[in-house]
A and B are shown apart, each in its own frame.
Chain A
Amino acid sequence: QKEVEQDPGPLSVPEGAIVSLNCTYSNSAFQYFMWYRQYSRKGPELLMYTYSSGNKEDGRFTAQVDKSSKYISLFIRDSQPSDSATYLCAMRTNGGDMRFGAGTRLTVKP
């Protein structure tokens, strides 16, 4: 079993739809949770960072962490064609070990 599980998709939605992306993890040592966005053959860029369980909102993006269920989510409201990219969840232990999910490829169609 992988330490971080993420459905690779692909996921295709119409413009304006709400997108839900999810990851589960098995290692309770993960304490810090992030979502990165990657465009083809580029380094990923940080979208959201969360530490505690609960919700964090930034514009059209909401990150949700449930440590008791070992489950994190990213919601994108009013999705735009420019949101088309691969979204990777990431998580880190206190010791610095940082793991990524497989990435979900999202396409938002005009």
Chain B
Amino acid sequence: DGGITQSPKYLFRKEGQNVTLSCEQNLNHDAMYWYRQDPGQGLRLIYYSQIVNDFQKGDIAEGYSVSREKKESFPLTVTSAQKNPTAFYLCASRTGQGSTNEKLFFGSGTQLSVL
């Protein structure tokens, strides 16, 4: 089964703790994205990566870090510097750049809450 998998589904963070959200895809997509969604709001871009070993900051990168050591994996670390991390986090990969097949495939999301 091809797809994009996020884990865990629910995550709790204590004050001052770093936590890492996993995102794995077996779709052979080059581009991957992390978005944050707050209640009643759209998706805000945290980081994106067009290719292995390269990534770019989005609108709200402060307090977050990423790595892209493998094509299949794009983990997101929420650091203690992120003061308001409670949100729904969505990872996506993209196919078909610049063609009518272009599409983002989303994972099922991780709900992060602060204890």
Contacts and interface: CB of A to CB of B under 8 A. Distances in A.
A51 B43 CA distance: 21
Contacts of B33: 98
Contacts of A46: 103-104
A96 B108 contact: no
Contact of A96 (B31, B43, B44): B31
Chain B interface residue count: which class? 20 to 34
B99 to A, nearest CB: 9
Chain A interface residue count: which class? 20 to 34
B41 A102 contact: yes
Interface in B20-59: 31, 33, 35, 40-45, 48, 50, 56, 58-59
Contacts of A44: 43, 90, 104, 106
Interface string B49-79: 0100000101100000000000000000000
Nearest to B111: A41
A41 B45 contact: no
Given A32-B98, A96-B50, A100-B35, A6 B109 contact: no
Contacts of A102: 41-42
A19 B19 CA distance: 42
Contact of B50 (A34, A36, A51, A95): A95
Given A42-B109, A43-B92, A46-B103, A8 B40 contact: yes
12 contacts: A6-B42, A32-B98, A41-B111, A43-B90, A43-B108, A44-B104, A45-B106, A96-B48, A96-B94, A99-B59, A100-B43, A102-B41
Interface of B: 31, 33, 35, 40-45, 48, 50, 56, 58-59, 88, 90, 92, 94, 97-98, 100, 102-109, 111
The 4 residue pairs across chains A and B that have the minimum distance between CB atoms = A43-B106, A102-B42, A100-B43, A103-B42
